[in-house]
A = this chain, B = another copy of it.
């Protein structure tokens, strides 16, 4: 009848129907990571020792032109998932943990379907 797990019960998504505006907001965030290249970019940046990566290193990891990588980085940045800064000749990017965490929280404690 009631939930069997020790969870605080239910991801936001399962607790109550998402409002139209919350859905739009979250969908925009999800769109930013719903691309193979951007997922890999995010992973590359997040897993890099030091937490920062030079664009030059990112470009080498793909079979894509620099403008394309730049475009994807901009999408991630606009979504607030990464931050970036120019330092001399190179530009460095790092992840913004709080924003990435929003994605995780959305689905995580889902587990059981609502009623059960």
Q: Which residues of A come within 8 Å of B, CB atoms?
A: 10-11, 13-18, 20, 23-24, 26-27, 30-31, 33-40, 42-44, 46-52, 61, 94-95, 97, 100-101, 103-116
Contacts and interface: CB of A to CB of B under 8 A. Distances in A.
Count of chain copies: 2
B112 A101 contact: no
Contact of A39 (B26, B97, B101, B115): B26
Contacts of A115: 48-52
A113 to B, nearest CB: 3
Nearest to A21: B36
Nearest to A94: B113
B110 A97 contact: yes
